[in-house]
Amino acid sequence: MIPEDPPAGSDVPLVSLPQDSQHAMARPVRVRASDMRPGRRVLPHSHEWCQLAYASEGVLAVYTSQGSWVVPPERAVWIPARTDHEVYAPHGAKFRSLHLDTDFARGMPESCCVLTVSTLLKELLIHAASIREDYDTEGEDGRLMQVIMDQILAAPTVPLHLPMPQDARLRRITEALVENPGDNRSLEEMAGISGASSRTLARLFTKELGVTFRQWRQQCRLMASMERLALGEPVTNVALDLGYDSPSAFIAMFKRTLGKPPTAYFGGK
């Protein structure tokens, strides 16, 4: 299941950003490291710089008003400047956050997306977290930061975004499927919980989210699978829980969408 907001009164640790993290950047690029314990959620916030949210270990979820992104290691979420967002580590994560001045981010996407993190970029980010933030931009550290930027600019995007609607009728459908991605009911069967006809809902999916109901549900299931597969759950268990008739059907969908079967994708091959 895709991580959701914690219920009121829960003991999930909600944290705000440290005050110094909102200060102006001393250099165009910086990398900060922190260990996020299981269940930690950074409250919604924005900043004047762009961010690459990456976990060298663990799974990260990023939420905005436009949708959610769930990424295992070897993937990261690009977050443009002034984007309200929330970061969640359901099982804990070794968090590496790259902050980038907007002038340095020219050519990068203007909306959130998932980027592939190569082995080289991973090691660069881990090393850069130990560099002083007032580094010499003309020295070795400055050159390393430029290599990081070159790697980010060249990183392929990955379709790991689940768009969420604003329309309340449509949201009742999508929230039910986020809660239970294995629900195999048709749109006609689910229309009763929305207060709208299946024809209206089908039109809203296409108009507001740019995909059909079937396409959105497939993406919901893909996103739900990421966390579990990253933690080593058997593909068969995940596939059947998500409503697929067989593991082979799930593997075919996964490969069709991400270009690799789950074992290769999470093995970094």
> What CATH number should be reported for the domain holding residue 117?
2.60.120.810
Position 178 in a domain? yes
- Written as one string, the DSSP assignment of 63-82 is EETTEEEEE-TTEEEEE-TT
Claim to verify: residue 202 and residue 140 sit in the same structural domain: no
What confidence tier does 166 reach under pLDDT thresholds 50, 70, 90? Answer: very high
Asked if 148 and 123 sit in the same domain, the reply is: yes
Claim to verify: residue 124 and residue 224 sit in the same structural domain? no
- DSSP structure string for 101-115: -GGGGTTS-SS-EEE
Is residue 76 a contact partner of residue 156, using CB atoms and an 8 Å limit? no
CA distances from 18 to 25, 71, 85, 267 (A): 14, 24, 15, 35
Q: Give the end of a domain, one of 158, 174, 191.
A: 158
Same domain, 20 and 144: yes
Give the distance from CA 39 to its chain's centroid.
16
User: 235: domain range?
Assistant: 165-267
CATH number, residue 186: 1.10.10.60
Residue 118, H or E segment = none
Q: How many domains does the chain have?
A: 2
| Rg of the chain taking only CA atoms, in angstroms | 19
Please check whether residue 1 lies inside any domain of the structure: no
Inside any domain, residue 126: yes
Question: Which of 128, 158, 188 is where one domain is finished?
Answer: 158
- On whether residue 40 sits in a domain, the answer given is yes
**Rounded Cα–Cα distance for residues 233 and 176 (Å):** 23
77 and 192 in a single domain? The answer is no
Residues 21 and 129 in one domain: yes
Q: State how far the Cα of 150 lies from the Cα of 118, in Å rounded to an integer.
A: 12
Say if residue 178 is in the same domain as residue 146.
no
State the Cα–Cα distance between residues 64 and 84, nearest whole angstrom.
6
Asked if the model's pLDDT at residue 20 lies above 60, the reply is no
Give residue 16's pLDDT: 46
Q: What is the mean pLDDT of the chain?
A: 88
pLDDT digits (tens, 9 = 90+) for 91-122: 899 999 999 999 888 889 999 999 999 999 99
31-77: pLDDT as tens digits:
999 999 998 899 999 999 999 999 999 889 999 988 999 888 889 99
- End position of a domain, from candidates 106, 131, 158: 158
Look at residue 4 and tell me if it is in a domain: no
122-161, pLDDT tens digit by residue? 999 999 999 999 999 999 999 999 999 999 999 999 888 9
Mean pLDDT of 243-257: 95
- When pLDDT is cut at 50, 70 and 90, the band that residue 268 belongs to is low
Q: Token pair for residue 151?
A: 């790697």
**19 and 146 share one domain:** yes
Indicate if 208 and 138 belong to the same structural domain: no
Would residue 97 count as lying in a domain? yes
**What does DSSP say about strands 14-15 and 40-45: parallel, antiparallel, or unpaired?**
parallel
Please give the pLDDT value at position 113: 94
Asked if the structure places residue 52 within a domain, the reply is yes
Residues 154 and 170 reside in one and the same domain: no
Within-domain flag for 213: yes
Residue 1 has pLDDT above 60, yes or no: no
Helix (H, G, I), strand (E, B) or coil at 4: coil
Residues 99 and 207 in one domain: no
How far apart CA 115 and CA 153 sit, in angstroms, is: 10
Proportion of the chain above pLDDT 70, given as a percent = 90
H-assigned helices in 4-138 = 119-128
pTM as predicted: 0.79
* CA atoms within 13 Å, Cβ hemisphere of 147: 15
d(CA 255, CA 262): 7
Same domain, 152 and 183: no
pLDDT at position 190, please?
96
